[in-house]
Structure 1
Amino acid sequence: MGFNMTFIRPTYFIISGFIGIPNISYYYIFLFFVYIISVLGNTTVMAVICLDHNLRTPKYVAVFNLAFADLISSSALVPKVFDIFLFYHPYISYNDCLTFLFFCYACVSMQALNLVALSYDRLIAIVLPLHYQVKVTHRFMFSLIVSFWLFAITVILIAVVFLTRYSCYKSVVINSYFCDYSMIYQLICEDKTPSFVIGYFLPVLILWIPLIFILLSYSCIGYALSKVATVQERVKAFKTCTAHLSLVAFFFLPVLISLTISEIIHPNAKIISMSLTSVFPPMLNPIIYVLQTQEIKLSVKKILKIR
């Protein structure tokens, strides 16, 4: 329905991503448990950082913000996916769709940028340890996080505003699990060069540039560690990076793999793989930090013992 018609500023869109996929009900059960773990895990990390004064350092300001972005990201996406597909409400109004798009993209952007903040923290701590207390302060980290939020909100808001300039759509069916920007501008039947340019540079700004900065940071860290005299000192310094490296791997690798194989796999498999890249990092991030960060483990034990 809606593929052979022209719509002038449609009042609604139809999200059709999971419709027709065999045995998709099992995937909804899986998504439900992923969402519950994400909410509990990120809430726990935020609570632990708030309750333990020893964790109120610039590094854990960034960790708190990452948990907050993960919580907002999961809560913006998964409940709406359940409402659309599990409760059979595939129709979404034009304004609600753009709002849905804004929150999903803004949170993903912030997750990537927050990993940049954490990589900068590790870079200064290992490469310039004597200057760490001067360069990485609470004020600096707060300013960096606020700047990243403003950047993410501004970039995604510009993309959304450009979509509102179009009035002619050749369909109202979005073949995705959410209001995907790339899917929406493909439905436009006017000159969509501005949105095409934005759609091209959006992944560059919110994914590739952060990833390049992180890789350059760890290249500098690796070079600095190669100058360390003993192997034990190298291992000790590298252990402080394992949690962050795990977060980077679980955030960027699924996206890169999904983009690489998207052209050669079935459309249904493509939709499920892309949805997994959205819901997995918010679930895994708090687990990684609780299990791999000694300060948080000690803080959790202390809090549980006091309670």
Structure 2
Amino acid sequence: MENVSFNVTFELTLDPFFIPPGGKYPIFFLGVVIYLFCVFCNLTLLVLIIMQKNLHKPMYFILFSLPLNDLVGITAMLPKVLSDIITETNKVLYPLCVLQGFLLHMYGGGVLFILAAMAFDRYVAICKPLRYSAIMTPRLVVVIISLVWGLDSVLIISLFSLQTRLPRCRNSILNVFCDNPSLLKLTCGDTTVNNVFGLFNTAIMQIISVSIQVYSYVKILFACLVTRKSDTKNKAINTCLAQLAIFIIFEIVGTFTILSHRFKNVSADLQKIMGMLIFLVPPLLNPIVYGLNTNEVRNTFFKVFKTKVFAK
């Protein structure tokens, strides 16, 4: 029970970054720019999908979940971190800490399941183009989206519910934001069940997401090798490479973050930075990869932009 304080309070202390003298304001303004850019890009993509009838297709209905999920992730993390940097308070109320951790884990699981759903949609579109409309019916699209958010919710709620059985005896979060591993370190009971269930949750998410994506991309690869239409092949390859790049980046950063909590010799600041990248990189890249890199979305955006500008 070394270094354990039983003077439990409603207010928790976060572990801040080491920021060199004069670096506080540049880091804060850079963070604000990144956040506003992410919000603008993701909101633009959401509004386009809602307002433009030519984007009312199964692919874009499924894609709609991605910028929505990105907004949840980056908003749950970055504003609080930036506020702590500029005010140097590094305090958070326990219920808000739990809420932040819950939303961040919902975001992480959401990324995996949404990318899997999008991979399945691309598999049907590229490998079964003549049957696409018959397979990707509105009913199936609703089922897919419901499974994405429903399964994610069940797994994350179960994970956080396990913490209610453990007494809390610490007040210091060993991170710049709240997540399940950091919250678990506030307890003084046996956390074996929580750790095992956390790894089980991660494994289930990875197995479901990776299996669907590997199956889809292998089928797409074979379809590309068989087809003689160069435009179809190039379109399929570009779509797959873009999505795979996002998935691989997320996996690398996420895997390091998860493993870093289980090794004591990892630098605390490096652990914090890598943890933040999970919630920064996808929201920055996704609107570009799935927005500007998609011909239909890009053309719709410029068409709407020109209409609004010249209308004035």
TM-score (norm 1): 0.89
Match of 1:114 in 2: 114
Two-structure CA RMSD over aligned residues (Å)? 2.5
Paired letter, 1:195: N
User: 1:38 aligns to what SS in structure 2?
Assistant: helix
Cα shift at 1:38 = 0.6
Match of 1:159 in 2: 159
Q: Is the 8 A contact 1:242 1:292 kept in 2?
A: no
What CA distance in whole angstroms lies between the structure 2 residues aligned with 1:78 and 1:231? 43
Q: Deviations over 1:215-268 (max 9, x none)?
A: 232122112322224555432432343443343244334334556788675221
- Mapping of residues 63-78 of structure 1, within 5 Å: 63-78=63-78
User: 2:13 aligns to what SS in structure 1?
Assistant: strand
- Mapping of residues 171-210 of structure 1, within 5 Å: 171-207=170-206, 209-210=208-209
What CA distance in whole angstroms lies between the structure 2 residues aligned with 1:43 and 1:153? 23
Q: Is the 8 A contact 2:38 2:284 kept in 1?
A: yes
Cα shift at 1:66 = 0.8
Which stretch of structure 1 is more off in the superposition, 248-257 or 71-80?
Answer: 248-257
What CA distance in whole angstroms lies between the structure 2 residues aligned with 1:255 and 1:157? 20
User: 1:189 aligns to what SS in structure 2?
Assistant: coil
Match of 1:248 in 2: 247
- Name the % identity: 26
Higher relative contact order (CA 8 A, sep 6+): 1
Q: Is the 8 A contact 1:174 1:183 kept in 2?
A: yes
- Mapping of residues 8-19 of structure 1, within 5 Å: 10-18=9-17
Aligned pairs, number? 304
What CA distance in whole angstroms lies between the structure 1 residues aligned with 2:135 and 2:9? 51
User: 2:64 aligns to what SS in structure 1?
Assistant: helix
What CA distance in whole angstroms lies between the structure 2 residues aligned with 1:72 and 1:261? 24
Which stretch of structure 1 is more off in the superposition, 129-138 or 258-267?
Answer: 258-267
Match of 1:274 in 2: 275
Q: Is the 8 A contact 1:97 1:179 kept in 2?
A: yes
Match of 1:234 in 2: 233
Match of 2:284 in 1: 283
- Mapping of residues 42-191 of structure 1, within 5 Å: 42-169=42-169, 171-191=170-190
Q: Deviations over 1:27-58 (max 9, x none)?
A: 33332221111100001111111221111001
Which of 9, 19, 22 lines up with 2:20 in the alignment? 22
Q: Deviations over 1:250-302 (max 9, x none)?
A: 43343345567886752212211221222111121112223210001110121
TM-score (norm 2): 0.87
Match of 1:4 in 2: 3
What CA distance in whole angstroms lies between the structure 2 residues aligned with 1:253 and 1:80? 25
Q: Is the 8 A contact 1:175 1:183 kept in 2?
A: yes
Match of 1:297 in 2: 298
Cα shift at 1:95 = 1.6
Which stretch of structure 1 is more off in the superposition, 174-183 or 230-239?
Answer: 230-239
Paired letter, 1:132: Y
What CA distance in whole angstroms lies between the structure 2 residues aligned with 1:3 and 1:44? 51
Q: Is the 8 A contact 1:102 1:156 kept in 2?
A: yes
